[in-house]
Structures are given as C-alpha cells and as structure tokens.
Amino acid sequence: MLKKAMPRSLPSLPPQASVMGLPVHLQSNYVDWLLSQLQQKKGVHIVTLNAEMAMQAEQDEALATVIRQAELVIPDGAGVVFYLRLRGKLVNRCPGIELAEMLLTRAASQIPQGSPELAPCPIFFYGGAPGVSEAAAVEWQRRAPGVAIVGTQNGYITPAEQPQLLQTLAELQPRIILVGLGVPRQEFWIAEHRHICPNAIWIGVGGSFDIWAGSKDRAPGWLRNNNLEWTYRLYQEPWRWRRMMALPQFALKSLTYW
C-alpha cells in the first residue's frame, strides 16, 4: 500500500502543463533546479513521462496518483512533446537517461561552486539484472572519477531481502537514488519508500543501467533526433510490440483529448 503523500514544501515548483490530466513540468534547465533542491535538502520524486506510461495511467488510477504526487514530471517521450505542441506548448524532449547523466556529472564535479554540503553527493543504484547496476557504477567511476556511488543493488531481490535494502538506504542516506525496475514498478516503489531518504532525489531510470553497463546499446543519435528511438528499442526487444501498441493509441488521444 502506498503511503500518504508527503507534504510539498518546495519553494518554487516549475510551471506545468497537462497531458491527459497528468502534470508535465516545463523547465529550461531541470538540472539546475534539481541541484537547488539538493542544496536546500528538499526531497524530489522525478517521473519521466512518455506515451506508454500515460496510457497505463489512464487505465490505472494508482499510477496516475503517483505521477500527480511527484514533484517533477519531465517530458521523456516524443509523444508527450507532440501532445503539448498540439496545444501550443513548445517544449523539448528530455529523456530520463540524459537527465540522470547530467545530474550525476554535475554532482561528481561538486557544482554549484561554494556548496560543500553537496560534496561528495552520495548516490545509490537500485535495479537491473544481477551484476548490471554494479557494472554501471564502475562505468560511472570511469566517466566521472569524483562520483560518489555508495551502494548498488540488483532488482531481482526477494521480498525477504527487501528489509535489508531499506535498512541500507536508511543508514547511507544517499542524496541521489536511481531506481531501474521498469514502469510502473519503479514509480510505485519510489512512492512507497521515499520517506526512508526524505532529502533525496529519486529518479525512475528504466533500463539506463543496462546501457551504462554496456549490456544494451542506446539508439543511434539520428534516430533519437528524429523521435524514433522507440523503433530501436523494439528492434532490441521485439517482445515489447504489445506494449508499443500504446503509441498509436496515444497519438489518437492527442488529437481528441481535451
């Protein structure tokens, strides 16, 4: 059962638009805003909204509630950007993996300057198959030697092992927690457990650990730049075709939902 929503005490939430009744926050620089929340020790749940998640939320009110309670919802998918542009909101896509990468890079370089409370910024990776989050952590140590990854845990632990993970988080109190359990499991898990690290930034990162670990490739840049990243995911994981049926359904909703 989800715990009662935490009261919002953030001084300045980004302006927001609506996608099928779900909030999408509009910000030119999400990372600077998030770093300011870190500096002020404000907890943030980030949801990376795409068409598939929006369609799931339409059928699952519990998921819709979690999305509405999140402090930051970013336009992760091309479909969400298309929906907003039809309504006069000229926004750019912000893939969750890229937001996480920028945040980790900035945290590793101890930015903003003059904020020693952010240095080092402890980070935790949870999710992926056994060995994947560990390999992703090693890759980040190579990319950004100043990054302080204080722990990792694969996403295949049993319910009996969950209390140990929660105890570890309570003891470490990481300030950035990336959760890669897939949608909507990661969103529910964050909503249920974020009270354990109330000052942390929590991000559901889907399959990002696999990409950082090198077990999967991200779509080439020309596909990403033309809003066709989903085709590469379908090529890598053909079993996703049933889930991809949400894309044309969402496109139709974009034209008819008011």
Rounded to two decimals, the pTM is 0.86
| Helix axes 30-39 and 96-108, enclosed angle (nearest 10) | 50
- Alpha-carbon torsion, ordered 207, 208, 213, 218, to 10 deg: 90
How far, in Å, CA of 211 to CA of 97, rounded?
A: 9
Domain ranges of the chain: 19-256
Contact call for residues 77 and 50 (beta carbons, < 8 A): yes
How far, in Å, CA of 46 to CA of 23, rounded?
A: 12
Residue in this structure with the two tokens 């529910």, named with its chain if needed:
188
Distance from the first to the final alpha carbon of the chain: 32
Q: What is the pLDDT along the chain (258 residues), one digit of tens a residue?
A: 444 444 444 446 678 999 999 999 998 899 999 999 999 999 999 999 999 999 999 999 999 999 999 999 999 988 999 999 999 998 999 999 999 999 999 988 754 445 555 567 999 999 999 999 999 999 999 999 989 999 999 999 999 999 999 999 999 999 999 999 999 999 999 999 999 999 999 999 999 999 999 988 765 665 566 565 656 565 566 655 466 667 778 778 778 776
Chain centroid offset of residue 223 CA: 21
